[in-house]
Amino acid sequence: MDLDEKPAGETALLDIRGLQTHFTTDDGIVHAVDGVDLTVERGETVCVVGESGCGKTVTALSVLKLIAMPPGRIVGGQILWQGRDIVPLPADEMNRIRAREIAIVFQEPMTSLNPVYTIGDQIGEVIALHEGCWSEPSTCWRWFRSRIRSAASTTIRISFPGACGSA
């Protein structure tokens, strides 16, 4: 078997094919992400690198379907999560996938984690939202920690080599 070949029946963890995310502005259409292709296998780490404004965050937001629609819109391509195209999924189905299977912590500290609250309480709040256990977020956090310890984690980072620009 070739090193790049997967065993039959095994799908990539994340497979992005021709992703296009555009935004409607007063000045016209901005092609923020225009043709991103990326495959991430289980256990693989891929790094997101690129100039400011080249589409790193918009790509990540597109994978989670967190683009504000409107003005943004995924206009083309596929985002296959474990073999399932999540682009056409309605909001309620995406909510079941978010945080349980796919999550993002943004680099901007003022919008990611609040230093006034413990990390456990903040992560517990997200888990409580997605697992439906609002009465006791700390219980959700303990449950989540036990799952992290027993599961193999995968870090996904996406790389955009060379200069990036938007038109």
Banded pLDDT at 118 (limits 50, 70, 90): confident
Given the structure tokens 């963890």, which residue do they identify? 13
Beta strands in the chain (DSSP E): 14-25, 28-40, 72-81, 84-85
Report the percent of the chain where pLDDT is more than 90. Answer: 32
pTM, entire model: 0.64
Domain assignment present for 134: no
pLDDT single digits (tens) 38-83: 999 988 878 778 888 888 889 999 999 999 888 999 999 999 999 9
Any domain includes 115: no
Domain assignment of residue 60, yes or no:
yes
Helices 119-131 and 137-150 meet at what angle, rounded to 10? 90
Angstrom distance (rounded) from CA 154 to CA 110 = 25
Q: Which of 74, 77, 78, 86 is nearest to 31 (CA)?
A: 74
- The domain in which residue 19 lies consists of 14-110
Q: For the CA atoms of 77, 82, 87, 88, what is the dihedral angle to 10 degrees?
A: 120
Is 147 inside a domain boundary? no
Backbone phi, psi, residue 35, to 5°:
100, 40
Question: pLDDT digits over 125-135, tens only?
Answer: 766 766 666 55
**Tally of domains in the chain:** 1
CA distance 29 to 152: 41
Name the residue with higher pLDDT: 123 or 93: 93
* Arithmetic mean of pLDDT, 114-134: 70
Q: What is the pLDDT of residue 48?
A: 74
Does the residue 54 lie in any domain? yes
Q: What is the CATH number of the domain that holds 22?
A: 3.40.50.300
Task: Note whether residue 144 is domain-resident.
Answer: no
User: Is residue 155 situated within a structural domain?
Assistant: no
Residue 11 CA to residue 91 CA, distance in Å, equals 24
